[in-house]
Structure 1
């Protein structure tokens, strides 16, 4: 049995609509301009018979100053009615008629209206307000600016528009924004919250520049404006306020200015009084410890100048102290954490000296006990107290540096004394790596080979974001966890890096050249954005950011070995692991070319042909330029590269294990064959070996034991170095 039409409609079956939907009716509304004389109030309007209220003259003034912002909703007139009758907007119509009566406008003024022809929509307009398109807040801001320019007061504007006075004050503050900012708001590229941030900036030129950047689609740097305001203002969130509180600050004569928009903490206009009040309170607590013989410095700014022979305990982690001392330290640290929590809870409820001083003194004593254990039992002699946002006071303790123990030149022997042997240094495991080919290879050629191999792995790592991230995290881990002292850089992150760019080397376009070009394109995109590096990088999507990280990480790779006597085995081990993870294959992007092959001797070139099964008597008779061309041609045809350029281990077909890949043995290096820098390749002499051996062992940073070169500050330096 066929279904009824109503059943089909309920199931959503395709069927011709009986008429236009309400949404289609709304979209089809006619917006037009109608002469004021042709407008009247529809009798079905709920307030059609009411007289004009007392605020109609005020509304007339606002309309005259700001213009009409919202269209009236009208229907066509019937019989003896005027041509159009207002269903919504009666007060605005009365205000316009009041202006006609005053002679300020004539009755031919064109009024913006929506014409409703659908009966259902006409009925809705009678009982609902704002059935027209809502007014954009940017239009309201601009209108209020024009009203203020016409000498209308804020209370009058608030009554006329039906806004609270505080809202009018806020919108009035926004009316000082440049016109380009209002355009960006109407275009949806600047939010109201961002506009409020923009209005707080005192420099008009900066406001225009930031608004223009947003309008052009480059985004708005909220963080930059917030940072600028935080630096230029002292607000109620300052660390000094935790101990002082607003009442004590006000009692000292301090003034406070509330944020007009209610979105930021109140600004303290007298920070000097705040510092004086905090210092006086901290001195009261310091007197307790000075009475016990400690020297206490109280500072709300920079730390005081202390003697150079003092030290403060750093972070204590497992292994730094003996087991018993470590257990005692952890217990003392737990007591200090509990005391700090108690102090924070008390300060959250009151700043009265009675209850606050007791918990702060307990917290400082717990800190002293913890630090003295960390210092190996040495007594703390100096305390430095500074503001803390959570506990009111931050404590740093200092003690004299432990003197070096001078060995007795004539020690007495004690056969019964037992001395524990020094613990063996931790030796991390290393992955297997191929052995270098050094027989018959000069220093310059070895350096060239490792350089090209490095560039090949750069390309592989740049194309494998996961492995690149693994490499970077591993490098960061080795730096951060190491106990070796490294000076702090100027960057927020304690990491620095340098792009691979050896002196005299050449960029290989299909290998690291591709990576450098990608980074150069990113540099150009950043410069065009007008954003800071952090802001620009933060705006990238996750996939693009991961690729960017892979490119930067890959370009810090440095596996070059300057001489055959300076083999960087730990770096080779890292390279072997990375190559395996990234499935690195140099021949995907490059095969030996003429510049690379020219640095090889004739026996080495013939050995390459033999490895490709292309060796014959005719090749041996070729001159070196023709031989280079022959090898390059055969290598390109077979996508082949020497095994010495690979960082991976070849599988042993018999044992199923890995072993270092061996290349054909070289017969030696011709004395007249040029090296990578155009000079003759010299044999390794004893003086070179001795000099190089003396240069080795200068530490991880100096001898390059890692696969990544880390020497210069700033990640963006990588991008600049890629040019």
Structure 2
């Protein structure tokens, strides 16, 4: 390679070669380079090119290395930031081959600057040249926040900065430590996480640094408000690397106190306005289960009262309907005009009913309400309300061993070893403070939780046991877990079903292995439960999950998911449920039943039963839709396959066999042997999980 020479040439006489080795760039980096050239007034590195010896561009320099620098320079000239005759240094190679080789070497052996050196360099420029952060930012095409951030990193605690220099932590991890200016706290957290899985997790490091404090976007902080917090003496440490929502409010106790006061003020106003018996404050975005599980029951809102005009009209409609019914009984049938009038009156009744339910004043007077914080930092009344009832000491969630008097003595007058004495207060033993006991409990639970999470089979057995033991009642107050499988609330009070599915559920429950639950202590019950075989434990899991499913009317929120689950399980409701007088037809008007007859068998079938009384018609409908009447084959098939849309889990599967209509159960509700044998093999038969 011939030794090249450096020459200064006009930037306007240079052009970027199509053979330039760098073909990709970064718009942000290009903008910074352009700003740096404009601020400094010169290029820090020369270009690499070859003079053109012939053609239209004879005498110009074709640039093979430094295309980004050339384009940034010419953009500054176009914008007036540099003189039109601005000169650039160029290393002139003998030929294109040499120029390409030099350009490749320039880019290939380029070493990125160590991030620690970068931070120190910014600090050095500011200290030695007495430059402001704004001036340095402009000079390097960066934002002032970026420069301030690098200065913060240059002042990290010594072990953290040393780790950054040694590339043991990334710049993002260093930024996490830089979220606080407290070097002692930085060093303490750095030492704490070195042996942990989270040593390179910026979010976890920020969380540990912020323990005992709040970020500006926390709902409690938003509830309190920045001005009120500062006025109360609170300190704020802004995070240079994120937006204002991530600034750290260091004095967490001030936030807690002001949030409690704000919620108590809101609770007093709500109680005075709404008339609740009690309004409890929960300074959180969720109501802890521990605050409600002992309360006797939730109060269901009642539909609002009808207006005086609507109530008067309701009486008139009911009277008119009674008159029509009496007239129809005398004539043994409804006239078309009467049918039309009945439907219009029913539609009018439905339209006038209150659309929204709310607690009545009497309900509020005996209710406990909760005020919490919503996600936007506003006080919010929780949706659930509970009946007010004085709870005795036996029901306060404490074990008998914890029920000591204020002096920490047991019934015999001696020290209770479980009492929370301050350190040095117990006789002849080391006693810990309540705060330390709480922290030890948290650390012990963390250790247990980690091992449970890493043993899925153990976790599954534990989850089933906790849910089932709570559901059966004996382990409710002593169980140290929030997991539960509470039975869904019945949508219809006092409802009793006699369907095949209800009988199957009863049989399933009776087949569950319950001997393990006879033990007195949680520990003994747990060990006995784990000793069950896999099938027995799996049956309890199915029981615990299934009982939590809520009944949701078709069209309401959640109903589509229930339908999806049934379709995914392949449930053919036709084979399990048939409309009967008791469960369906007695709830319909005579015109509605006749309309179903017309749907199944046309006007001829409807006319055949048109003169029947309502009671007889419901019985006839039950027989028709069960396939127990003499009818054409296609009529019988349509009747056997018909269901209300609200009962279906998927498309019509066609008429079932006669045996399948009972769901595989005999008259006593017991599983028929043939059906039980086929439940796992015959895809057309409904499969019932069998307890071991």
Alignment TM-score > 0.5, same fold = no
TM-score (norm 1): 0.33
TM-score (norm 2): 0.34
Q: Identify which of structures 1 and 2 has the higher relative contact order when contacts are C-alpha pairs closer than 8 Å and 6+ apart.
A: 1
